[in-house]
Structure 1
Amino acid sequence: MAAFQEIPVLDLSKARSPETKSDFLKDLLDALLTVGFLYIKNTGIPQETFDRVCEEGIKFFDLPEAEKLRIEMKQKPSFLGYSRLGNEITAHKADWREQLDLGTEHPARTAKDPLYYNLFGPLQWPSEQYLPEFKRVYQEYMEQMRQVSEFFTSLIAEALGMEAHAFDKFFDAHQQHKLKIIKYPDNGDGVGQGVGPHKDSMLSSYLLQASDHEGLQAQNTRGEWIDCPPIRGTLVVAVGQGLEALTGGVTQSTTHRVLSPPAGAGPRFSIPFFQGVSYDAEFESMDVPEHVRALRDQVLAQTNGRRDDVEFTFVKGRWKHLGEATLMNRIKSHPDVGERWYPDLLAQIREEQQQQQAAAAATTNNAKLSEKSMPDGGIAEVHPQQRQKQPQQAIEAH
């Protein structure tokens, strides 16, 4: 089986018809096992709604700088709010973008709640003085996306041979879903890091590409970057690490990145919605049927077992709850928020990163010594999976 060379497009209307649903589920299963990235069309959300969401989102970046900084992310411990250009870190490099992080409304954390409940809020909205319709438009859109994502999650369960409501136990009344509004300025060469290689850390994400620019790319099992160009009326769905963790690795969480637009192309805009699971959910694998697990093993065998180069965030045994892993990832991505609100956890993360860098350097030095010791100038072969890679984090970004 060759590595994927294009991103499949699935028609969600087929899942709503008894005559075509089984074919849809077969196509969905193939996408989950072999790609982990797909487009969905005929989502049930009117094109007029998508257009209004894009219009309001783009207008946000034209606000006065003082208004954007009034709701800067580091003002609150929730990682919700505005991030300046180049302020987020992915793969140890600054992302060349500015953005606004929003989420569904939840009560504020109390003293008896775990620390990761800080992620629930408070939200930070731009003033209605500047954008009178913004809050209403985005609250309504997040509710529509909640419905789409929950329906699609039930389809994922069915495609995997489980009951449609198999994932319900990972949702609760305090469920948080997130959304970003992102601007990628053109940077001159079109190859800079809009956002570096990463996986999304929540259950799944649904990207609305809000301008006609290319730049989003998914990585296949050969390490090649495959373009995901904008297609009007579609959402790009990416399997998140939360879903991969809950299915015991059966579903494919795919590495992706965004390249900055070339000079003169104008900024690229995107609006991803991130479906989460309960932050209190524990690390337990779903009861995925054996024949589906066997299909996934077959795919891995045919691609030499190569997954990708990004660190898997939800390592079973490291964190008890998904909320703990999510909080640590947010601190990695936004160290300015970490310095203000989570200094001890940020120090722990930086110490781990130093240890990883030291281990990577030691492996590189050992490989060089092995090359020198080979007779006749030969070079010792090292399998790609044996190489020590500098891990990258899972984040929410498109």
Structure 2
Amino acid sequence: MSFTSIPILDLELTRDSATKPEFLKQLRHALIEVGFLYLKNVDIPPELFQEVIERGKSFFDIPLEEKNKLDMKNVPSFLGYSGVSAEMTAGEVDRREQIELSTEHPIPAPGSPLYHNFLAPNQWPSEDILPGFREVYTDYMRRMGHVSMYFTSLVAEAIGLPADAFNKYFDTDQQNKLKILKYPSMEPGNVDETQKGQGVGPHKDSMLTSYLLQATQHHGLQVQNMLGEWIDCPPVDGTLVVSIGQSMEALTKGVCVATTHRVLSPAAGTGARFSMPFFQGVRLDADFDELETVGIGAVPEEVRRQRLEVIERNGGRVDDVKFSLRKGAVVNKVGEALLRIRVKAYPEVGERWYPDILMAVRGE
């Protein structure tokens, strides 16, 4: 039988050698059976979480003309602001408003691969409009970078690999990303007849791991189990929701599973849903041949067998979303695959900066 709830793991257990083995056992179960988990005691001050929530919500209250100054279409990095219905998932329009940030980098040198355009400065709101916003989110992304690196080392240990097994897939100045999201409620007169309550459609995260701070008490996040059933993942105080990404699934050759998930729009009268997901990056210049020469061959036979037993027990794997982070005729690097994924998701950015890639993606 497939999972019917999302496990809650306590990171505090890893700080004592007597309790760490129990955490790793729980984590292995979450990795090979669910692909999602709640994580508590992540060693980030509660007051910083509160600042992140309050300043994230306040961003959407600034005048539209100020938000439009940060329009994602301004730059080829996919960093910045996008309004409701600017993003697409699973061929349908997503009903959410957002700003996307990352750990900052200088603009890449001329002649760099196109996917190096991801590495860029952020488009920040004016300090006069949102004082302290940049400082709070820069601090939060820095701290979450440390959390994600520590958690990734635990993933390695949980599946029988050395703690540093994935380090070769990080740059020394690794780029991580963060979104601040607002899902408007489905108020009468505020939606047209074609919209079906898709906050964001069924998808899998692309990066190694992601960490979602659910900032309001709305239900709406759902995870698909191996029987095709949608399992609620409601807010749990004091936790982050951790999702395993396609990069991690690729590196472990399917031992760690990237699970399909979606967000339903809040019902009329319940107000907007806010969330702040942090995405752990992977080295953009890594090629798929590298990914194929490590991973499952190094994972102990016992762990591989456990994953196969999960698949067999559920009669195969049911998925609304196919694996998209893969090598192709014109795709050899991880960054190339991620660029095509982004162009597909944000066609207006694609039209302005990557028209040839957009045409190719549409043709596929």
Q: Normalising TM by the smaller chain, what interval?
A: over 0.9
Q: Hey, what does 2:192 align to over in structure 1?
A: none
Deviations 1:331-370 (A, max 9, x none): 0000000000000000001111xxxxxxxxxxxxxxxxxx
Pair 1:332-2:344 in alignment: yes
Query: Do structure 1's residue 130 and structure 2's residue 129 form an aligned pair?
Result: yes
- 8 Å contact kept, 1:8–1:38: yes
1:299 aligns with 2:310: yes
Query: Conserved in 2, the CA contact under 8 Å of 1:207 and 1:235?
Result: yes
Q: Does 1:85 align with 2:56?
A: no
> Where in structure 2 are there 5+ consecutive unaligned residues?
189-194
Say whether residues 1:252 and 2:263 are aligned partners: no
Aligned residue runs from structure 1 range 11-22, under 5 A? 11-22=10-21
Q: Shift in Å at residue 315 of structure 1?
A: 2.1
* Partner SS for 1:200: coil
Is 1:323 the equivalent of 2:335?
Answer: yes
- Per-residue Cα deviation, 1:145-178 (whole angstroms, up to 9, x for no partner): 0000000000000001000000000011241100
Match of 1:202 among 191, 203, 207: 207
Residue deviations 1:300-325, cap 9 Å, x none?
A: 11111114121211224553211011
Paired residue for 1:100? 99
Could you tell me which of 262, 276, 284 is aligned with 2:267? 262
Aligned match of 1:165:
164
Structure 1 runs, 4 residues or longer, greater than 4 Å off: none
Where does 1:170-189 land on structure 2 (aligned, <5 Å)? 170-188=169-187
Q: 1:232 offset after TM fit, Å? A: 1.3
**Partner SS, residue 179 of structure 2:** strand
State the AA in 2 paired with 1:266.
G
Counterpart contact for 1:174–1:278, Cα < 8 Å: no
Q: Please state whether the residue corresponding to 2:65 is helix, strand or coil.
A: helix
Bigger radius of gyration among the two: 1
Gaps of 5+ in 1: 353-398
Indicate the larger mover: 334-343 or 187-196: 187-196
Aligned to 1:343: 355
Distance 1:209 1:151, change over 3 A: same
Q: Which residue of 2 aligns with 1:374?
A: none
**C-alpha contact (below 8 Å) 1:215/1:229 kept by paired residues:** yes
Q: 1: distance between equivalents of 2:287 and 2:127?
A: 39
- Size of the aligned set, in residue pairs, is 351
Distance of 2:338 and 2:16 partners within structure 1:
36
Give distance in 2, aligned partners of 1:310 and 1:174. 31
Identity of aligned residues (%): 57
Q: Answer yes or no: is the 8 Å Cα contact 2:246–2:323 preserved in 1.
A: yes
Task: Tell whether the 8 Å contact from 1:76 to 1:122 is kept in structure 2 after alignment.
Answer: no
Partner of 1:225: 230
Q: 1:309 aligns with which of 303, 317, 320?
A: 320
Over 3 Å counting, the alpha-carbon distance change for 1:160 and 1:316 in structure 2 is farther
Q: What is the TM-score of this pair, normalised by structure 2?
A: 0.94
Contact 1:191/1:262 (8 A) holds in 2? no
- Following TM superposition, by how much is the alpha carbon of 1:112 offset from its aligned partner in structure 2, in angstroms? 2.9
Any idea what SS the aligned residue of 2:362 has? helix
Structure 1: distance between partners of 2:122 and 2:172: 18
Q: In structure 2, the residue corresponding to 1:54 is in which secondary structure?
A: helix
Q: Does 1:216 align with 2:246?
A: no
Matched letter for residue 47 of structure 1:
P
Contact map agreement 1:78 1:121 (CA 8 A) in 2: yes
- Cα distance between partner residues in 2 of 1:164 and 1:112: 36
Contact 2:39–2:239 (8 Å) recurs in 1: yes
Separation in 2 of the partners of 1:337 and 1:28? 38
Closer, same or farther: CA 340–95 of 1 in aligned 2, 3 Å: same
SS for the counterpart of 2:319 is coil
| CA RMSD of superposed structures (Å) | 1.3
Distance in 2 (alpha carbons) for counterparts of 1:172 and 1:7: 31
Query: Counterpart of 1:115?
Result: 114
- 1:67-124 Cα offsets, whole Å, 9 max, x none, are 0000000000000000011110001111010000000011211123211000112310
Letter in 1 for 2:227: R
CA distance in 1, matches of 2:137, 2:11: 23
Residue identity opposite 1:262 in structure 2: A
Cα deviation for residue 291 of structure 1 reads: 1.8
Q: Is 1:59 matched up with 2:58?
A: yes
Q: Is the CA contact (8 Å cut-off) linking 2:103 and 2:141 kept in structure 1? A: yes
Q: What is the CA–CA distance in structure 2 between the aligned matches of 1:261 and 1:23, rounded to whole Å?
A: 37
